[in-house]
Amino acid sequence: MHQHKDEQLLSPTTMDRRRKADTKWSDIDKTRLYGIGTVMYSALTVALHPLTVTKIRRQVFKNGQSPATSNSSFFSNIGQYYRGVGIVVSFAIPARIIYISVLESTRETVEINARNMLSNPPIILKPYNEELLGLLPLVTPFSGGIAGGLAAISSQLIVVPMDVISQKQMVMSDNAYQNNGSSRKVVKSIIKKDGWRGLYKGFGLSLFTSLPAGSLWWATYAGCRYQLSSYCIEEERRDKDDDRINYMARQAFVQVASAFCAAVTASVTTQPLDTIKTRIQVGKQTMRPDASLRSMAREFASTPGLYKGLLPRIAHMGVWGSILSAAFEMLKLVSRKDYEF
């Protein structure tokens, strides 16, 4: 209802931009979306991979460095921050396809049904009609949270083996990596030691971590974006010339601010779980090789150890999230079935 009032005060050009920005999942050419998205997200993954390596090493080692790195050459040290990037890019493609599909289809379904229920409640809830309408602003973060959690969980069948293999490569010493650091050898060593189940070490905890992380990120992002977009609406009403540059600058501010708020919220809340998960998946490189989940949590619960790697994780999630969300909105636009290049 409020949305219609806002649109009546906007110029036709602005309204057209808004309708295209609010692209529905059913309006998208999936082949184009996944084709362009694969290239875009792979490039972003490679660019941000050093932050992931830094986070993993800080979670596993006291000084944040893997053994036997101090005497390495400059190029060798640089190369260490791209260990595991091949397996990450390869596994991330199918994982991202699953993630995006579940995220967008679930978010659209939940939001439509939730808005319909609140706007047209069943007879038993009719007396609370005014209260239900007051909940409409919460629909966007609610649907984003539900969709984000389900999307994160659905992709874990691919993400967990990717993490187990790549993280072992990230924390190897120079000699160990040179002799046994290829993805094929790492997989063989994992299967030889623990069987195929070794590729899913920490799977339960990964699910337990990804659900709140995904839900918190998308709920916070959607809620912040919903609130901040009112700033854009007010500015657009005052903008008689419909200045496209100012419009894009405001949209960029909303995207970046929302993404970093989401990154801080999700990172700080789930960092302890992520640290324990990483130590379990790395296995023999942990401070206590035979430590169980319970004993490991007890060992670090009273220390700052569970928050090691927090700043790199916030930076990674913030940069990844702001670029990803902005790029994804543009990707949805160019992937519309009616879009003309």
- Closest among 228, 234, 233, 304 to 272, alpha carbons compared: 304
CA distances (Å), origin 273, targets 12, 241, 279: 48, 50, 10
**Band (259; pLDDT cuts 50, 70, 90):** confident
For the beta carbon of residue 307, count every other beta carbon within 10 angstroms: 18
Taking the C-alpha atoms of residue 247 and residue 254, their distance in angstroms, rounded to an integer, is: 11
Among residues 305, 303, 221, which one has the least CA distance to residue 266? Answer: 221
Of 84-88, 149-153, 197-201, 334-338, the one with minimum mean pLDDT is 334-338
- pLDDT reported for residue 341: 62
By CB neighbour count within 10 A (0-12 exposed, 13-18 middle, 19+ buried), where does 310 fall? buried
Q: How far apart are CA 151 and CA 145, in angstroms?
A: 10
Contacts with 204 (C-beta within 8 Å, 6 or more apart), sequence order: none
Walk me through the domains of the chain, giving residue ranges and CATH numbers.
21-334 (1.50.40.10)
Token pair for 239: 């903008």
Record the tokens describing residue 242, joined without a space: 């419909």
Phi, psi of 287 (to 5 degrees): -65, -30
- pLDDT tens digit string along 112-156? 999 898 888 888 888 888 888 888 888 888 998 899 889 988 999
The Cβ of residue 183 has, within 10 Å, a number of other Cβ atoms equal to 15
